Amino acid sequence: MKKIFQQLQMEAIRIARKYPAPDFYREFEAEVARSYLFFISDAATRQIHLCVRETIENDYGHGIDHCKKVALDAGVLMLVEGGRAGYGENQLSRLLRLAHCAGLLHDICRKEKKHARAGAVEAEKILSARGFQGGEASDICRAIANHEAFGDNKGADSREGELLSGCLYDADKFRWGPENFTHTVWSMVAYKDVSIDDFITYYPRGMAFLQKIRETFRTPTGRVYGPQFIDIGLAIGKDLYELIRSDYLDPRTS
């Protein structure tokens, strides 16, 4: 990564510390703990985690750390929404496993064109090789295929599949909040070898895209808590942009 982007990332991390963590993690503290404990203890989830960890590329901001965070938050959303829907404990555990696996696998083909569709095809192979069959594998793959913002959402074949799709989408879009500015964007500009001039030129366009993401959350819980993730990210992004304009731009061009 270019030195200037290393400096800007440190500035973004410093700015982010001024803002509170999203309310989602405080309001659903019990579900956060349960999702994590299941993630590290469930045998099927561990198999998928190991597979993704060994195969996914980590140089584009959507590597194993990103996928793990999406998996854990998708699990929290599944516990909240599934509990409200009246699912029993056995069914909730099964759906929690599917949410974790969908989160781990959703960016397995992130660098490919139409990565969600390509990821769904690759995920089907991985799931089949590890004993996932029928509706469970189908629901995971459909959720992966549907996780792009403003993409072609084809829906799911079942109530549980639709819920899984919404949980994966919302957990993935939570990452477009603070983490976008503290982690993701810097990995992406390093991979693409972006110049600082191009970065500054396209910065407002990126902020506008985040504003649009704010309106796309799919689950009831996501629609309540998701916009706050984006708002915190936008606040960090605005502060960072003001710093860039004041400290990093040539005053003759700003």
pLDDT in tens, the chain (254 residues): 899 999 999 999 999 999 999 999 999 999 999 999 999 999 999 999 999 999 998 888 899 999 999 999 999 999 999 999 999 999 999 999 999 999 999 999 998 889 999 999 999 999 999 999 789 999 999 999 999 998 777 777 789 999 999 999 999 999 999 999 999 999 999 999 999 999 999 999 999 999 999 999 999 999 999 999 999 999 999 999 999 988 876 543 44
What CATH number has the domain spanning 3-247? 1.10.3210.10
Q: Which residues contact 250 (CB under 8 A, 6 or more apart)?
A: none
| Sequence ranges of the domains in the chain | 3-247
Angstrom distance (rounded) from CA 215 to CA 226: 9
Read off the tokens for 211. 């504003």
Please tell me the pTM assigned to this model: 0.94
* Integer angstrom CA distances of residue 156 from 33, 160, 230, 236: 28, 8, 26, 35
Angstrom distance (rounded) from CA 233 to CA 254: 24
Q: How far is CA 106 from the centre of its chain?
A: 9
Angstrom distance (rounded) from CA 237 to CA 240: 5
The amino acid sitting at 246 is S
The amino acid sitting at 190 is A
* Integer angstrom CA distances of residue 19 from 3, 8, 45, 156, 231: 25, 17, 33, 37, 11
| CA nearest neighbour of 75 among 93, 51, 91, 99 | 99
